[in-house]
Amino acid sequence: MSTTPRSRVSARFSAITPSATLAVDAKAKALKAAGRPVIGFGAGEPDFPTPDNIVEAAVRAAREPAMHRYTPAAGLPALREAIAAKTLRDSGYEVDPLQVLVTNGGKQAVFQAFASILDPGDEALLPTPYWTTYPEVIKLAGGVTVPVFAGADQNYKVTVEQLEAARTEKTKLLLHCSPSNPTGAVYTPAEARAIGEWALEHGIWIITDEIYEHLLYEDAEPAHMVKLLPELANQTIVLNGVAKTYAMTGWRVGWMIAPTDIVKAATSFQSHLTSNVSNMAQRAALEAVTGPLDAVHSMREAFDRRRKTMISMLSQIDGLDVPTPKGAFYAYPNVEGILGREIRGKVPTTSAELADLILEEVEVAVVPGEAFGPSGFIRLSYALSDGDLVEGVGRIQELLAQAH
């Protein structure tokens, strides 16, 4: 009698899709290491070094014997207090340090936020295009992703009417990310308030990802949900971290701010999963959130300059629809006008095929829209040098000019 062999890998882990953005970045780096002149627009990572004052804080911490030991799983008390003070300074509302949980990077905060409130079968409304990790953590938490799509014609921002059309009796939460990864879209205070009022009316949790809060351009304004609607505080989880603002992606320090019962439950989970975040990284983060913002402002000026260059160059390509991003460091052009046209003997019909063609023909790495929802788009990060940006987009211009 034969039996069907059981998978060696659990169904839970087998269902996870690897990070497409990291995969594109890894492929670009591998080709570059092999001597290919690849320019990568894939990774959402500032190209600047971490500011010196932050690095020196970590060096000092490494010499302190107390930092060589376990510390509280929820984070160094001084850092939790500093994050609360930083929230008041930057976001305009008060939180108790007991509402803060320091995590190993923003991704751990993302997972723990979803896992702390989702039960099997609960639905999570996910404005689309979305960051590639969100649906995976919803799945791991036992929830069901309900995409709510907003295209280039809406500047990639969903409306209350769309959210209401997607709401069911199983809707538990809404993910809100502004400024957005992957689109760079920024909700106005009025738009954010309307969404918050809708969530409040229907008792829906909001998980708001504010990792790009300092990267705003032109007339874009901060729009923090809890500041706009203090009544939302008891059903909102705020995600943030030092990675994007302070060029600290490798330091792995994020945090979540939530009602104390949620923080207590998530802290218990984290105590079993990872214990405390690296003490040296926490001390670096403490310096970051309490120190001056001069370096942050300088980086933002550079990103803004690159943003303008990239949007100008992409807009010159026939067949691309390029909404102007007002936050983060991404452009997200609609490439449907290119698909189905012949380019150097090939006819890409999806954005994944187009991204492969761009990499093969002109050695430029972009992330296809399939990583963030529907096909028909590509994401380009402008968190790279001005010279590489101009060279890379120039190669794309030359290639796509041959489409017919």
7 pLDDT tier (thresholds 50, 70, 90) = confident
> In CATH terms, are 9-47+293-399 and 68-291 the same topology?
no
pLDDT in tens, 296-330: 999 999 999 999 999 999 999 999 999 999 999 99
The contacts of residue 235 (CB under 8 Å, 6+ apart) are 199, 200, 203, 204, 205, 206, 259
**8 Å CB contact between 290 and 283:** no
Confidence check: pLDDT of 25 > 80: no
Give the model's pLDDT for residue 45: 87
Segment 37-52, tens digit of pLDDT: 899 998 788 999 999 9
pLDDT computed for residue 4 by the predictor: 64
Work out the mean pLDDT of the chain and round it to a whole number.
95
Query: What are the CA-CA distances from residue 160 to residues 167, 193, 201, 256 (Å)?
Result: 10, 10, 12, 25
pLDDT value for 15: 85
Q: Are 175 and 134 in contact (CB under 8 A)?
A: yes
Sign of the Cα torsion 234, 244, 66, 270 reads: positive
Q: What is the pLDDT of residue 17?
A: 82
Query: pLDDT tens, 64-82?
Result: 999 999 999 999 999 999 9
**Residue 39 near residue 27 (C-beta atoms within 8 A):** no
pLDDT on residue 397: 97
* Domain extents in the chain: 9-47+293-399, 68-291
pLDDT: which is higher, 297 or 4: 297
Please report the pLDDT score of residue 3 as a whole number: 62
Residue 90 has pLDDT above 60, yes or no: yes
pLDDT reported for residue 235: 98
Report the C-alpha gap between 339 and 347 in whole angstroms: 7
Q: Is the pLDDT at 36 greater than 90, yes or no? A: no
Fold that domain 68-291 belongs to in CATH: Aspartate Aminotransferase; domain 2 (3.40.640)
- 142-196: per-residue pLDDT in tens? 999 999 999 999 999 999 999 999 999 999 999 999 999 999 999 999 999 999 9
Residue 265: pLDDT over 90:
yes
Please state which architecture CATH assigns to domain 9-47+293-399.
Answer: Alpha-Beta Complex (3.90)
Residue count of the chain, please give it: 404
